[in-house]
A and B are shown apart, each in its own frame.
Chain A
Amino acid sequence: MIRRITRLAPCLALAGCAGVQSALDPASDQASSVFGIWSLMLWICGVMYALVLAFLAAAIWKARHRLSGPPIAEGQKSPADRPLTRVLTGWVGLTVVGLLVLTFGSFLVDRQLALADQKNAQTIKITANQWWWKVEYDDPVPGRRFVTANELHLPVDRPARIELEAGDVIHSFWVPNLGGKQDLIPGRTNRLLVTPRRVGLFRGQCAEFCGLQHAWMALDVTVEPQTAFAAWAEAQRRAPAPPSTPEALRGRDVFIGAACNSCHQVTGQPAQGQTGPDLTHMASRPSLAAGARPYSRQALDEWLRDPQALKPGNHMPLVATRADERAALVAYLDTLK
């Protein structure tokens, strides 16, 4: 039994390395560079650690067996002096070489990150708010710009220049599989270049404590082939199909008549509020309330019943609606694809 556990433990530990939110499973050029220097550091420090422990063990073992030597007279050198000097010189040399390799490696990685190819880069502006992400896709043609929230789609093999801003307090943008952390600071624009090389679904997370719901400030990242990305972007630019069922139509009236459109935006509807997440294609997003729940009609109903119960302290207020109004609202919001 114990043997089985000891055999399983390293496998379990390794399982933590892969996955949708792991810096040890790089999916972009930048993350690969950082992973390279991370591995180098792990090996150098690991070998040094093992050497120090081995040396310590050898020293203790030797001392135990040589305590019975002849006493040393005053002014006379200890027979241990010469080997000790030799060994210490060796250690200093080893440390210097290790640090030099690390410094040089870090310099090379820094250079690699700074000089990365930005040709044909897609510019995306991300604004962090308590506690959600506003994602704006820039385009030279103003009509082709579009906004989404809490999801980021990136075409594979095309660099993305991400401009990072904050709407209230300091946040930090971190998609471990795609690159290092970068802070979002109110009043300034930080930039991060990401060149995804592998298709997949990843999870980003705010990495700077930003208030009560810091933990539920996630970002669903999809890296997809160029054609799939183009199709997605085209769908995002279009207004969603108008509601057709009587219930959804009623839900739209509730949405426009109640406080929803004071903060939220839906393209093609008289809803142009700017302080909350854009809801134009909310039903096509993987999650609700910045990763608080996977998207489903049931989760949406639960969220609208009392947003403070699901994510206490967030800035979505309870808008008083009757149960039938809420059902209609859910039916309408579910058509926003």
Chain B
Amino acid sequence: MGIMASRVLGLCAALLCLTACQRETRALTGEAPRRSETPSGQQMAGGGLAPPPVDPAGAAFEGVAFEISEGQRYYDWYNCYGCHAAGGGDIGPALMDDEWRYGSSIAQIRASIADGRPNGMPAFRDKIPDRQLWQIAAYVRSMSGRADKLAASSRTDDMRTTPPTNQARPGPEQSDTSGGEVRR
């Protein structure tokens, strides 16, 4: 191969590397996306109607590294640690396992944080702005390995107590949205 050809190839390779620089675009606007408010019609454990498992608004947060890491920050700031510890659970249920009493989709997790759930989960609807609710939900999902591995955080801001979220492997989801007895 001629020197010229190898130079051109080298330049092409360098240009190709540059395309990796743009990972994602941060959405810095303050507005949170509109939500769909129609409940699924399914009864939830503990009473009430289950939120819809899919919400188009969630797509902007799910699997986006910036939103997940912001959620990680707010998980600390709003003291989710107080009950759920670093995800292993304490007086609140564990968040890094595969048991999802109220559904594991980002919209369902957001609804659980916003509306509160029986047995002690408070409603944070008026205390946490909507955008941050989505970000926290995105982070909570990543705790059990349900977020894109390329987006989930590989390190925590504080001393590490759990395996990195981008190494967690999700198992089959066990959820109970049938309205039956609360499993324990």
Check if B30 is an interface residue, CB within 8 A of chain A. Answer: yes
**A92 CB, nearest partner CB in chain B, Å:** 46
- Give complex CA distance A315, B78 in Å: 13
- Chain B residues in 8 Å Cβ range of A307: 30
Check if B26 is an interface residue, CB within 8 A of chain A. Answer: yes
Check if B129 is an interface residue, CB within 8 A of chain A. Answer: yes
Query: B127 touching A312 by the CB < 8 A rule?
Result: no
Interface size class of B (residues with CB under 8 A): 10 to 19
Query: A262 touching B30 by the CB < 8 A rule?
Result: no
- Give complex CA distance A313, B28 in Å: 6
Residues of A within 8 A of B (CB): 168, 257-259, 262-263, 275, 306-309, 312-313, 315, 317-320
Query: B30 touching A309 by the CB < 8 A rule?
Result: yes
- Chain A residues in 8 Å Cβ range of B78: 262
**Chain B residue at minimum C-beta to C-beta distance from A186:** B157
- Chain A residues in 8 Å Cβ range of B26: 313
Interface string of B112-131 (1 = CB under 8 A from A): 00000000000000111111
Which residue among A257, A258, A319 has the maximum number of chain B CB atoms within 10 Å of its CB?
A319
Within 8 Å by CB of B28, from A168, A258, A308, A319, lies A308
Within 8 Å by CB of A318, from B126, B128, B129, B157, lies B129
Query: B30 touching A317 by the CB < 8 A rule?
Result: yes
Query: A308 touching B29 by the CB < 8 A rule?
Result: yes
- Give complex CA distance A319, B31 in Å: 9
- Chain B residues in 8 Å Cβ range of A319: 129
A259-B126, A306-B30 known; A317 vs B132 contact (CB < 8 Å)? yes
Within 8 Å by CB of B126, from A258, A306, A309, A317, lies A258
Query: A263 touching B77 by the CB < 8 A rule?
Result: yes
**A330 CB, nearest partner CB in chain B, Å:** 17
Query: B127 touching A259 by the CB < 8 A rule?
Result: yes
**Chain B residue at minimum C-beta to C-beta distance from A261:** B127
A263-B77, A275-B77 known; A318 vs B30 contact (CB < 8 Å)? yes
